[in-house]
Amino acid sequence: MKVNNFMLLLVCTGIVMSFMGCEKYLDIKSDSKLLIPGKLNEIQGILDDVGQMNNGRTPSYAEAVGGDFFLPTIGTLNQSVRDIYVWKKFDYQFPNDWSNGYLPIYNANLSLELLDKLGRNNKNAVEWDNVKGSSLFFRSYYLYLLTAQYGLGFNSATSGNEPGVVIRLSSDFNIRSVRSTVNECLGQAIRDAEEASALLPDIPVVLTRPSKAAAFAQLSRIYLYMRDYENALIYADKCLKIKSELMDFNTDTDVLGLTLNVPFKKFNKETVFYTEMSTGFGLHAPSSARIDTALYNSYLPNDLRKTAYFKANGLYQQFKGSYSSSASVLFSGFATDEIYLNRAESKAWLGDIGGAMDDLNFLLKKRWRVSAPYSPLTSVNKIDALRKIRTERRKELLMRGLRWADLKRYNKEGEEIRLQRVINGVSYFLEPNSLFYAVPLPADIIELTGIPQN
């Protein structure tokens, strides 16, 4: 009994003391400086937060409407999601691709502002340069992705007048948002990536961090989108001079097993920079999306991608070939297979047909069953080479968020690609160069900022 009374006294004393401590704590005046990162490693910590900077952040609505998959049934989908599926205008609010993309841009701008308060010297130069280069890279990375989704395809004659997205160069949320042109957005993304490339290390400590190779990959991707094939080639080549490895699907240790639901290791040897696509409206989720039947049938029997990328689900095929090492998460970063295809297409466009086919065959042989003879693809002219390279680009880079930008680019060059989806026997079409290629902006952003809607 005495022991119980003693324990009760201790507990009560502790409670009283805690209240006294809280009162003293509340008497202390707040100091906002305690909440602001002021050291290089603390600023680096902002950029290393993969939950805010890498995972589930890249835009996904373009993947949802890009035409590489279909839904066998839409019975459980609400009307808004049905409208998205067939390229009708739709209203949506936070959270969304816009907010997902602008959060890392905000963090990048904040990091640059904090960095400006710290001097660069011989002792901290490497760390300082990495923080600045990483901040610029992230801003470039997401600005381009948002522009490629929400802006119309690039056209040198019209993109100086067509709306892109909002260029944010400050963390001050009081600065009014104004839509810049597609030209201005892509120009800012290029300048940031170029500056980043001069500051970053060739290879990062971890693949969720930017690097010089990633900055060159970014520049190659942007210039390809702009149909500036000369610069796309230059930067693809620069990237591959730093990092050029490809997985051999026959023997590589980064291939866990082609028949497995998760066939590839995360951060495999092809990965240049790692990000993951947002879940968006869920239309493109591997568990529900079924791969276009004609696309699946285009893989030859000895093409190991047919086993690595797909598994049967009912009557159709489901995608499983993400480099995220997850059956449900889609990899959306940079990998060397994309860069080889950038270089091959650029070479073909510029007339180096032999070099283009060499790059393409180098990639495809890594995907071919070793027990079967591989017959290298050949081409007699530029048009034929581009057709073959673009066919393989679609087959190789499936479900990475790239097809939408490619469609816009191809249609600007006159390919006249018409997308079709069917609901209950009724066909819906997306015409080449449709205004829907600039996906609608969130309704709450329109209401809050007054910027014009697509």
Position 43 pLDDT exceeds 50? yes
Task: Write down the mean pLDDT value for the chain.
Answer: 93
Tell me the pLDDT tens digit for each residue of 67-86.
Answer: 999 999 887 788 888 999 99
Position 26 pLDDT exceeds 60? no
pLDDT at 363: 99
Main-chain dihedrals φ then ψ at residue 335, nearest 5 degrees? -140, 155
Distance CA 151, CA 167 (A): 13
Between 9 and 221, the more confident residue is 221
Per-residue pLDDT band for 35 (boundaries 50, 70, 90) equals: low
Write b or e for each residue in 312-349: b if 16 or more Cβ atoms lie within 10 A of its Cβ, otherwise e.
Answer: ebeebbbbbbbbbbebebbbbbbbbbbbbbbbbbbbbb
As a whole number, mean pLDDT of residues 183-190 equals 98
Distance CA 260, CA 246 (A): 20
Joined together, the tokens standing for residue 315 give 């009557």
Joined together, the tokens standing for residue 19 give 């209240």
pLDDT at 80: 85
pLDDT at 183: 98
pTM for the predicted model, two decimal places: 0.92
Per-residue pLDDT band for 342 (boundaries 50, 70, 90) equals: very high
Position 50 pLDDT exceeds 90? yes
Position 423 pLDDT exceeds 80? yes
Position 385 pLDDT exceeds 50? yes
pLDDT at 357: 98
Query: Residue ranges per domain, the chain?
Result: 40-449
Backbone Cα Rg of the chain: 25
As a whole number, mean pLDDT of residues 290-313 equals 98
Are 78 and 84 in contact by the 8 Å Cβ rule? The answer is no
Position 23 pLDDT exceeds 60? no
3-state secondary structure of 413: coil
Position 435 pLDDT exceeds 90? yes
Between 179 and 74, the more confident residue is 179
Cα–Cα distance list, 334 to 320, 324, 347 (Å): 18, 12, 20
Residue 427 is given by DSSP the state E
Tell me the pLDDT tens digit for each residue of 143-155.
Answer: 999 999 999 999 9
pLDDT at 79: 87
CATH label, 40-449, candidates 1.25.40.390, 3.40.50.20, 3.40.50.12280, 1.10.10.60: 1.25.40.390
Between 446 and 2, the more confident residue is 446
pLDDT at 38: 85
Tell me the pLDDT tens digit for each residue of 249-271.
Answer: 999 999 999 999 999 999 999 99
Position 344 pLDDT exceeds 90? yes
Element (H, E) at 223: helix 212-225
